[in-house]
Copies of this chain bind each other. A is one copy, B any other.
Amino acid sequence: MHELGVVYRNIRRADGDIATRLGELGSATVHEAMGRMGLMKPYMRPIYAGAQASGTAVTVLLHPGDNWMLHVAAEQIRPGDVVVAAVTADCTDGYFGDLIATSFKARGARALVIDAGVRDVRVLTGMPFPVWSKAISAKGTVKSTLGSVNVPVVCAGALVTPGDVIVADDDGVVVVPAALAQKTLAAAVARGANEGEKRAKLASGVLGLDMYNMRGPLEKAGLKYID
């Protein structure tokens, strides 16, 4: 996180299929499967409702008001990547618009996750190119200071190492370390396994109190019912 002016060209990406399957399970399930770790701050929101993406992280470290390194990052994108951009200080400027989005998309990027602002959101929505960001702002940026590409970054409170799996949807953005991707997928699949059955029971009127056998523990904890 402390290197400036470097671009790592060869990063070890998590398996692409695993990334795709984690995305299908969704950020909430994956986050649970991770032991409730790795979630970015909830101020990170998709620019349009229903946005969904997952992939392997190409990271970018930017300076406030300077998007030069996004162009450098574009060259490092491979199909299936999600670009994750951190900034060295709080900033809401619109670092990313439809032109860079066109370039990212042409390179195979599936999404951008940026701890700052974006613009041209109507066009991005139409493409569609999903973005999760802290802000939306028409304010553009300069291209004058070096940052880095593919170094570990802290984005919206979460550490992202290049090649990690990113899962993003309406509920937020989760980071799965590459080394834990396989194991997390297994845990997430197991979690989701009997959700259908549970849903059917609950829909029929069965209470979670009974389905999860909570009455005993609640009584033991001292819960009192008053008529």
The reply to whether B209 and A72 contact each other, CB–CB distance below 8 Å, is yes
Residue of B nearest to A93 (CB): B89
Contact status A224-B5, CB under 8 Å: yes
Docked complex Cα distance between A120 and B65 (Å): 24
A205 contacts B9, C-beta separation under 8 Å: no
Minimum C-beta distance from A64 to chain B (A): 5
Cross-interface CB contact of A64 among B39, B93, B102, B169, cutoff 8 Å: B93
CB distance from A39 to the nearest CB of B (A): 5
Residues on the B chain within 8 Å of A146, using CB = 218, 221-223
Interface residues of A in 92-145 (CB under 8 A from B): 92-94, 97-100, 102-103, 105-107, 117, 119-122, 125, 135-140, 142-145
In the complex, which residues of chain B have a beta carbon less than 8 angstroms from the beta carbon of A142?
Answer: 145
Shortest A105–chain B CB gap in Å is: 8
Is the beta-carbon distance between A135 and B71 smaller than 8 angstroms? no
Bitwise interface map of A from 58 to 83 toward B, beta carbon under 8 Å scored 1, else 0: 00000111001001101100000000
Asked if A41 is an interface residue, CB under 8 A from chain B, the answer is yes
Closest chain B residue, CB of each to CB of A144: B144
Contact of A199 among B75, B89, B102, B159 (CB under 8 A): B102
A204 to B99 alpha-carbon distance, docked (Å): 12
A49 within 8 A of B: yes
Kindly list the 7 A-B residue pairs having the minimum CB-CB distance in the complex, ordered from nearest.
A138-B171, A71-B208, A103-B202, A27-B138, A42-B137, A138-B172, A28-B138
Please state if B94 and A171 are interface contacts (CB–CB under 8 Å): yes
Beyond A10-B227, A154-B159, is A65–B37 a contact (Cβ under 8 Å)?
no
Docked complex Cα distance between A91 and B157 (Å): 13
- Can you list 13 pairs linking A and B with CB atoms under 8 Å apart? A5-B222, A7-B223, A28-B120, A32-B140, A39-B89, A63-B65, A68-B218, A72-B209, A103-B202, A119-B171, A120-B171, A139-B172, A145-B221
